[in-house]
Amino acid sequence: MRADRLVATLLLMQARGRVTAAQLADELEVSVATARRDLEALSAAGIPVYPQAGRGGGWSLVGGARTDLSGLSATEAQALFLLVGPAAAVSGEAKAALRKLVQALPQTFRAEAEAAASATMIDPTRWGERDRPRPERVDLLQAAVIRRRKVRLTYVNGARERSERLVDPWGLVDKDDVWYLIAGTERGRRTFRVDRIVRAEPTDEPAERPDDFMLAEAWEEVVGKMEERRSTTWATVLIEPRFLQILRDHFGRHCLTDGESDDGRARVRLAAPTALDIARNLAGWGADVEVVEPQAVRGELARIGTELAGRYGDGH
C-alpha cells in the first residue's frame, strides 16, 4: 500500500536526515520513479520534505534527523494523516501504522491528526464510473470535517433540482474517484455527491456530530441502500474467462461469478436497475457474451440488434 510507504519514507528520513530516491527505492523495494513520486507527494501535501541538488544531495526533512514525529507542526501532522488515513479503511497495515504515528505525536496534536485520519475513507469497488478528476471542493470539505464547522451547500440532485442547505460535515468517501460527503442535516443524515455541489461555503458555526459516528459503518449503510436500488434486475451470462476481469471492472459490485459452464466459459451474474440497462451494457460485446436469462434482457438485446441492423445493415 502506498500509505505504508509514505509512513516508512518519513520515518527513514527522520532516522537518517537525508536520503536519495535510489536509497529509498532499494530500502522499500520499489522503483526509483515510485520512490521519487512518494517524496514529491509528501512535499506537495505540506510535509517539510525538500530536495537538495548536487554532490551529496538528496531529500531532507526540515530540522534534520529525528527518531520520532515530535518535530511536526499541527498543520504538517494533519497533512500526513490526510495522506495516510484513507488507506486505513482497506489496509490493516496502514491502520496499525496510524496507531503508532498517533502515539508518536505530541498530545496537543493528536486530536486534530486523528480527525484528519478519519475525515476521509476509500471504497475501491467500482460502480461503473472511472477516471474522474478530483473535485475542487474536496479540500474545503475535508477542512470543515476536521475543524467541525458547518458548511452552506448549493446542491443539484440527479433530477437537476437545485437546493440550498446548511449541513454538518461528518466525513468524505472516495469511491474510485467519485467523491461523496456524508453530513448531518435538519432531516437527518444525508449523502451528497461532491461533483454535484455547485457551491460550498464554510461557516464559523460549530458542527454537530454524533459521538458514536463511524465513517466506515455509515458508508456501509449508504452502499447497502444504493445497491438495493441499483440491483433490481439480475441476468446470468456466459463469457470466456479471459474477459472476466474486464466485465468485473465495468459492473463492479454488480458482477458475481457463479461457477463454470460445461463448455468452460465462466458463468456470471450481472445486475442493473432494468433489463434495458443490462442489455445496453452488453450490446457492445456482441457474440462474446451469451445471456442465459432472463428473457427480458435477451429481448432487449434482440431489439437493439434489430435497430442496429436496420440502420447499418445496408452498408450506409
Q: What is the pLDDT of residue 238?
A: 96
Mean pLDDT value of segment 242-271:
90
Q: pLDDT by residue (tens digit) across 167-186?
A: 999 988 887 678 899 999 99
Q: Is a pLDDT exceeding 80 seen at residue 53?
A: no
- Residues 147 and 206 grouped into a single domain: yes
Percent of the chain at pLDDT exceeding 70: 70
* Inter-CA distances, 12 with 5, 113, 190, 287, Å: 10, 20, 42, 54
Q: What is the pLDDT of residue 242?
A: 92
Q: pLDDT by residue (tens digit) across 258-281?
A: 999 999 999 999 998 899 999 999
Cα–Cα nearest to 178, from 159, 150, 201, 197: 197
Q: pLDDT by residue (tens digit) across 279-289?
A: 999 999 999 99
Q: Is a pLDDT exceeding 60 seen at residue 56?
A: yes
Note whether residue 222 is domain-resident: no
Q: What is the pLDDT of residue 65?
A: 37
Note whether residue 219 is domain-resident: no
11, three cell numbers:
520515518
Q: What is the pLDDT of residue 90?
A: 45
- Residues 51 and 92 grouped into a single domain: yes
- Residues 193 and 165 grouped into a single domain: yes
10, three cell numbers:
518519513
Beta bridge partners of 239: 266, 289
Note whether residue 148 is domain-resident: yes
Note whether residue 155 is domain-resident: yes
Q: What is the pLDDT of residue 98?
A: 56
Note whether residue 20 is domain-resident: yes
- Residues 172 and 238 grouped into a single domain: no
> Which structural domain range is residue 252 located in?
231-312
Domain end point (choices 185, 213, 241): 213
pTM for the model: 0.49
- Residues 236 and 195 grouped into a single domain: no
- Residues 208 and 245 grouped into a single domain: no
Domain end point (choices 149, 181, 213): 213
Q: What is the pLDDT of residue 184?
A: 94
Give the three-class secondary structure for 19: strand
- Residues 143 and 87 grouped into a single domain: no
Q: Is a pLDDT exceeding 60 seen at residue 158?
A: yes
Q: Is a pLDDT exceeding 80 seen at residue 227?
A: no
Q: What is the pLDDT of residue 155?
A: 94
Q: Is a pLDDT exceeding 60 seen at residue 127?
A: no
Q: Any residues with CB less than 8 A from the CB of 184 and at least 6 apart, and which?
A: 167, 168, 170, 190, 207, 208, 209, 210
Q: Computed over its alpha carbons, how large is the radius of gyration of the chain?
A: 24
What is the tally of structural domains in the chain? 3
Q: What is the pLDDT of residue 74?
A: 53
Mean pLDDT estimate for the chain: 78
Give the three-class secondary structure for 213: coil
Q: Is a pLDDT exceeding 70 seen at residue 101?
A: no
CATH of the domain at 76: 1.10.10.10
From CA 37, how far away is CA 56, in angstroms rounded?
20
Q: What is the pLDDT of residue 85?
A: 55
- Residues 74 and 171 grouped into a single domain: no
Note whether residue 154 is domain-resident: yes
CATH of the domain at 154: 2.30.30.520
Note whether residue 263 is domain-resident: yes
Q: Are 140 and 203 in contact (CB under 8 A)?
A: no
Note whether residue 130 is domain-resident: no
CATH of the domain at 238: 3.30.70
- Residues 8 and 104 grouped into a single domain: yes
Percent of the chain at pLDDT exceeding 90: 31
Q: pLDDT by residue (tens digit) across 69-98?
A: 555 555 555 555 555 555 545 455 555 555
Domain end point (choices 86, 118, 150): 118
Q: Are 282 and 237 in contact (CB under 8 A)?
A: yes
